[in-house]
């Protein structure tokens, strides 16, 4: 049986991404999808974005974002309803990968792949974007304006800087918290909200102990989940607007329960009940938190 410190070290390693194989899979799929997009549209540039690019995505890998900036004659799509470009991308990807594996989402087109021994990247989201003054415009079919301002490169820089300032432990802690969220049926939506909160709530210096860092985050997040959390890039809508008041109350309860569980695990370990403590940590984070 592991000590708690050993269990956390293994857990951190398990949920760290990308591995060399995952990187190769993502690169291959990105190039493949980009080639398809480039054959149909004028793609000025493309890059991996979202939590995968920030190294804050959890496993299994889903919804890896490919950000395609359209130019040339395809700039005309910015003047159309976003459903036009989303439908066109969906049609093209459906022809290549099967319509049953492609779906139109609020801001992107999703492509699902079977998870096999040879393929570890389970799905991609193709985001079509257009250069604006100091940002990108992306489709947003649920917004009043139909388009949303964003800059994933700012998000990536913020995560990089916070990680460096937090003894290179910030991204690992965020992955742990997102793993908790996934294991408990995602009470906090979107998962990016947890990352945005972590930019502020992990303040000062890393304390050197995952147990207390996590307990402190869950407790403070429970107190602050009802707050308004804006886009850290200062461009798009508030990240916290996706949840209604009922969902925020449920998220508050879930976060407080997680904090209480952390305290219980810490107390059990102090009392010499390491096995019981490990079981509680596994209840929090699921089977990826190994006990031995």
Q: So what's the pLDDT on residue 31?
A: 85
Place of tokens 């810490």: 266
pLDDT, block means (10 residues), the chain with 292 residues: 92 80 75 92 90 77 87 95 96 95 95 64 88 93 90 94 95 96 96 96 93 98 97 92 95 98 98 97 95 84
Token pair of 44 as six digits: 């000025």
Phi-psi region of 200 (alpha: psi -120 to 50; beta: other; left: phi over 0): alpha
Three-class secondary structure of residue 191 per DSSP: helix
- Please provide the DSSP assignment of 154-180 as one string: HHHHHHHHHHHHTTT-HHHHHHHHHHH
Q: So what's the pLDDT on residue 18?
A: 62
Q: So what's the pLDDT on residue 58?
A: 77
- Please provide the DSSP assignment of 15-32 as one string: T----HHHHHHHHHHHHH
Q: Describe the crossing of helices 210-224 and 4-14 by its angle, rounded to 10 degrees.
A: 70
Question: Are the CB atoms for 155 and 232 separated by under 8 Å?
Answer: yes
Q: So what's the pLDDT on residue 115?
A: 60
Question: Are the CB atoms for 46 and 67 separated by under 8 Å?
Answer: yes
Instruction: Please tell me the pTM assigned to this model.
Output: 0.88
Rg (CA), the chain: 20
Place of tokens 């492509």: 111
First to last CA, the chain: 5
Enumerate domains of the chain plus CATH numbers.
20-150 (3.30.460.90), 154-285 (no CATH)
């Amino acid at each position: 049986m592991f000590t708690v410190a050993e269990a956390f070290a293994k857990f951190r390693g398990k949920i760290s991404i990308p591995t060399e194989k995952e990187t190769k899979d993502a690169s291959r799929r990105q190039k493949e999808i980009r080639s398809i997009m480039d054959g149909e549209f004028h793609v000025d540039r493309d890059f991996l974005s979202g939590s995968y690019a920030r190294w804050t995505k959890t496993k299994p890998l889903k919804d890896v974002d490919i950000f395609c900036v359209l130019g040339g004659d395809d700039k005309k799509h910015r003047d159309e309803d976003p459903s036009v470009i989303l439908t066109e991308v969906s049609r093209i990807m459906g022809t290549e990968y099967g319509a049953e594996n492609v779906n139109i989402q609020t801001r992107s087109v999703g492509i699902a792949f079977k998870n096999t021994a040879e393929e570890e990247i389970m799905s991609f989201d193709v985001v079509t974007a257009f250069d604006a003054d100091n940002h990108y415009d992306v489709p947003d079919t649920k917004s009043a304006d139909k388009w949303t301002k964003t800059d994933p490169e700012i998000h990536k820089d913020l995560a990089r800087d916070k990680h460096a300032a937090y003894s290179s432990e910030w991204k690992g802690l965020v992955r742990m918290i997102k793993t908790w969220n996934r294991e408990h049926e995602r009470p906090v939506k979107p998962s990016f909200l947890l990352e945005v909160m972590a930019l502020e709530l992990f303040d000062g210096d890393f304390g050197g102990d995952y147990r207390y860092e996590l307990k402190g985050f869950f407790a403070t997040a429970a107190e602050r989940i009802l707050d308004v959390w804006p886009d850290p890039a200062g461009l798009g809508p508030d990240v916290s607007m996706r949840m209604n008041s009922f969902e925020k109350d449920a998220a508050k309860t879930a976060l407080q329960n997680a904090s209480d569980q952390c305290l219980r695990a810490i107390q059990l370990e102090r009392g010499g009940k390491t096995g019981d403590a490990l079981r509680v940590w596994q209840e929090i984070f699921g089977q990826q938190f190994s006990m031995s």
